[in-house]
Copies of this chain bind each other. A is one copy, B any other.
Amino acid sequence: MTTATIEAPAKKAPPVPRNGVDTPTLLATINAVGAQPELAKFQFRARNKWIKGTHSRTIMADFSGAGGEHGHVAETSADGDHPAVLCGADQAPTPAEWVLHALATCITAGIANIAAARGVTLTRVESKVTGDVDLRGILGLSDTVRNGYQHIGISFEIEGDAPPEKLREIVEQSRARSAVFDVITNGVPVSVEAKAGQ
């Protein structure tokens, strides 16, 4: 060991791309938003059209944020329907299942970002989500049973080049900063408007 290496303080390695995450750009983006908070204001959008029965179709195409308007690389079309056992045509997942999809994709995206920022290379992240509901609410059979889920559970299996405890901390940090987890657990005010014609 030379004097030079002793004198030089241990430098933290600069972040490198990892897990398919462009870590340097991600951290630069966070710094840019920190310096100019108005860049953080986003509006996400969807437009839906009824098809038949309980079947409808949503288009997700554009959003605003980071000071401008943005189009997705490709528009996405997705349907919703009720299952046959509830007299639907089962042309698509139920709306309630789409909530579970939103939760899983949100926490999983965060896991990849946070692992990259912490220098952890992931090899597998899988999750199962369940939502329990008593349909007496939505069927109008009870005024005390709520309409929505009574409980949602999500269980992750995560593997990577870090000790289990560090991997679990990454999941926990992603949960703590998940937009969809916050929406589902804490609720959001929703305004509903209707314009009617004949």
Chain A residues within 8 Å of B, Cβ to Cβ: 19-22, 25-26, 29-30, 33-34, 37, 40-56, 58, 60, 63, 65-66, 70, 72-73, 76, 78-113, 122, 124-141, 145-165, 167-168, 171-172, 175, 177-198
Contact = CB atoms under 8 A, between A and B. Distances in A.
Nearest to A139: B30
A136 B107 CA distance: 17
Q: How many copies of this chain?
A: 2
Contact of A34 (B141, B146, B155, B183): B141
A66 B93 contact: no
A198 B190 CA distance: 42
A179 B148 CA distance: 4
26 contacts: A19-B53, A21-B53, A30-B140, A33-B135, A40-B139, A44-B100, A44-B130, A47-B129, A48-B126, A54-B113, A56-B108, A70-B84, A73-B84, A96-B106, A96-B179, A96-B183, A99-B183, A137-B177, A147-B177, A148-B180, A148-B181, A152-B188, A155-B194, A161-B198, A167-B194, A181-B190
A185 B180 contact: no
Given A133-B44, A148-B180, A156 B101 contact: no
